[in-house]
Chain A
């Protein structure tokens, strides 16, 4: 057979001599181009011998190896002698390597009985609880060092964090608080108007925002925004050996990294809450004016008459505690992070989940405690 003069694609010419099938591969065998499969070529034929030559092969890559793998598999299955002596040696060896490869056995994962599973889970819960307790205890020691030696505290880092978690959070806190005030006022207006009790919208919005929604919304925003950022930053620092570098210098990472963040959140949360309260009340005022035609001055007077200092301080106490909880969760998860990119991501997620969980639990406790105390 004459060799094709200008071959671009992979092709095969077949010739039968007696009981021997001779396949000649020609053209460019490229993995990104179509190629004939051995199955389509051989059909149902069962020759005694198969000879493959590559006289007119112009170039080859993994496509040829795959073809040879198909040939070798077929030959093995039907016990037919495949003569690949004329095929490029490297391609032949690669194909044989593919067929000879076997996965290493993985060490068997021991099946856990119920008792073992429960036991391991208990040990794990105990270990996690101990880690959290140790972390909180160390934070207390670190705080006592801060009070004893305030000049040693990293005030610059603290101010930078206050800027990040306080001032830079104002736009999102404004928007959310205003909308929450609007929504509450609107819902209340629809109901209260039926009884001619329009003005009590101010009471409802004022109390709900100052006692509950202001601190809660500010805390949820901070958990998502700042708690996650703390965890990601500390996790990344751990992955980059920065925390190891602090430890080998004898500088407690808690003093250096955690306390400035905790103090910043502890100070900024009540301030953000005050701001959120104001915006929530303004939202209520806008609905009262727009929907119920209550003048803003009347709304403000009504709000002042119902919201007293104990309501305000209840909210602010909660806000401070929420801030500390968010800071603690974010820093703890960051310091516990695995030294990898996915570890940092998990730490951020876990920080947000932990913070929100703790905020809700703490809020429930506050509700009970303030009720008992008569606040």
Chain B
């Protein structure tokens, strides 16, 4: 990893970001920062713009206003070459896994390595074996994405996102459509990734279990307000937030019934 990228404290700084599609503003004035090696959640109800924010953060959509910085380096104003260099420093795990359907799992994980590293074929082979083992997919390297289950696709997607040992990994609803056990395993993988390499993890989710199990901090988005309505530690927001939208979102049914208000 490039040590020069670690000159500032925060891994991601977002300032006054305005996101939208074709003239329709979905989020405005979004400001937050993510510290290094933090597991940071972006939460909110359906349709509040969580995935939209993620798409703007990773550069799939261009924000109408505002700024995103990774390790102090501007992403929005970067020229093609520095943008490509920044893209190398983060991995994305898409909601569906987004594995390339015409390639095997091995080829999927190998592609970023072939594109960006001068490693020999043998080294790439070993590295891919290691990455697949990390996510518990040893032996499935010659399977095509259509031949494996949804949970395995997510794991393989994670192996690919981790191929270049990125400094930041974005997860788009990693638990969506998975059973509780597989979902817990994915959570454990997120923690492992952070602990092993100090990777910053940004997770878009509305799974309360995941948020409290592994989340360090979070921001909550709101559809009506078109922006961030809370930022902080999950437990603090649940117990101390005076905003009923925040506290009721973060409480389980039992906690909600037991709550005095």
Chain A contact residues, CB within 8 Å of chain B:
157, 236-237, 240-242, 244-251
Contact = CB atoms under 8 A, between A and B. Distances in A.
Given A250-B84, A250-B87, 10 more contacts: A157-B102, A240-B96, A241-B94, A241-B96, A242-B99, A248-B59, A248-B87, A249-B115, A250-B88, A250-B116
Interface size classification for chain B: 20 to 34
A-B complex: 10 closest residue pairs judged by Cβ atoms? A250-B87, A241-B98, A245-B98, A250-B84, A241-B94, A248-B92, A248-B58, A242-B98, A242-B100, A249-B112
20 contacts: A157-B102, A236-B101, A237-B100, A237-B101, A240-B96, A240-B101, A241-B96, A242-B98, A242-B100, A244-B60, A244-B94, A245-B94, A245-B98, A246-B100, A248-B58, A248-B60, A249-B115, A250-B83, A250-B88, A251-B115
B95 interface: yes
A245 B102 CA distance: 14
Contacts of A241: 94-96, 98
A237 B99 CA distance: 9
Contacts of B95: 241
Interface string B189-215: 000000000000000000000000000
B84 to A, nearest CB: 4
A251 B112 CA distance: 9
Contacts of A250: 83-84, 87-88, 115-116
Interface of B: 55, 58-60, 83-84, 87-88, 90, 92, 94-96, 98-102, 111-112, 115-116, 160
Contact of A247 (B60, B88, B90, B160): B60
A249 B116 CA distance: 9
Q: Is the interface of A mostly helix, strand, loop or mixed?
A: helix
Contacts of B83: 250
Contacts of B60: 244, 247-248
Contacts of B84: 250
Nearest to A233: B102
Nearest to A247: B60
A242 B99 CA distance: 6
A142 to B, nearest CB: 14
A248 B90 CA distance: 8
Nearest to A244: B60
Contacts of A237: 100-101
Nearest to B107: A156
Contacts of A247: 59-60
A135 B183 CA distance: 40
A372 to B, nearest CB: 42
Nearest to B55: A244
A118 to B, nearest CB: 20
Given A247-B60, A248-B60, A249-B112, A242 B87 contact: no
B254 to A, nearest CB: 27
A157 B111 CA distance: 13
A248 B100 CA distance: 13
A258 to B, nearest CB: 14
Given A248-B92, A249-B112, A242 B101 contact: yes
B7 to A, nearest CB: 22
Contacts of B94: 241, 244-245
Contacts of B98: 240-242, 244-245
Nearest to B92: A248
Contacts of B101: 236-237, 240, 242
A246 B98 CA distance: 9
A144 to B, nearest CB: 14
Contacts of B102: 157
Contacts of B111: 249, 251
B56 to A, nearest CB: 12
A250 B166 CA distance: 13
Contacts of B59: 247-248
Contacts of B55: 244
Contacts of B88: 250
Contacts of A236: 101
Nearest to B86: A250
B61 to A, nearest CB: 10
A250 B78 CA distance: 13
Contacts of B115: 249-251
B172 to A, nearest CB: 8
A244 B95 CA distance: 11
Contacts of A242: 98-101
A245 B96 CA distance: 11
Contacts of B58: 248
A240 B96 CA distance: 7
A53 to B, nearest CB: 38
A284 B141 CA distance: 53
Contacts of A244: 55, 60, 92, 94, 98
Nearest to B94: A241
A109 to B, nearest CB: 16
A237 B146 CA distance: 13
B147 to A, nearest CB: 15
